[in-house]
Structure 1
Amino acid sequence: MRISNIKNDIESLIIELTKQNIPPEKIGSLKDAIEADQDAPEHKNQAFGNNVSKWFRDMSTKADTATWRISEGMAAGTAAGILLNILKTYYGWA
């Protein structure tokens, strides 16, 4: 799977998340989390700040539920891995 979002480009991140069927309200929550974690010290170690980490954990538990309808036949663990790669690409760590 090719991930096409660009480092620190929120619009390309939104497009990629939309392709993965992430609901708009969850994308909005992620945007808020990214902004809140803008200066997170964890970034120096290529780790998400507290707010993005919480968002990711929340979304990982929602894979293949009514909140996040992933592609048919895709395992929840695979979906979480794709989401992780999308976020790492956004931060420039992939």
Structure 2
Amino acid sequence: MTLTKVRVLTLKLTIDMVTSGLNIANVDILIRGGASNSIKLLDKAIKPVSIQYANLGTIQNRLDHLINNLTTSLDNTPAMESPIRDVDYALAAQAVKSTVVLVGNG
């Protein structure tokens, strides 16, 4: 059995997450009008940051699940080797026994 399905995770930041990209680089809180305007700008900047934070959390969650699934597969692979070998040996022994019976009766 071969693995043919490939999963691709794409991370795309849609906005520059620095003060200039969020339009808060020139925030002035020293005067009343500037402080009021700064609060409005900061409120606007919170939404895109929150969205990107949620997107990164989603990707982290997917990666965690992928890592857990791969770890489980790695743990289960050696555990399944022994039963497979036992079945292979049993089939080979049965084939030898059948051949011996056929040769003996032939």
TM-score by length of 2: 0.25
Bigger Rg over Cα: 2
TM-score by length of 1: 0.27
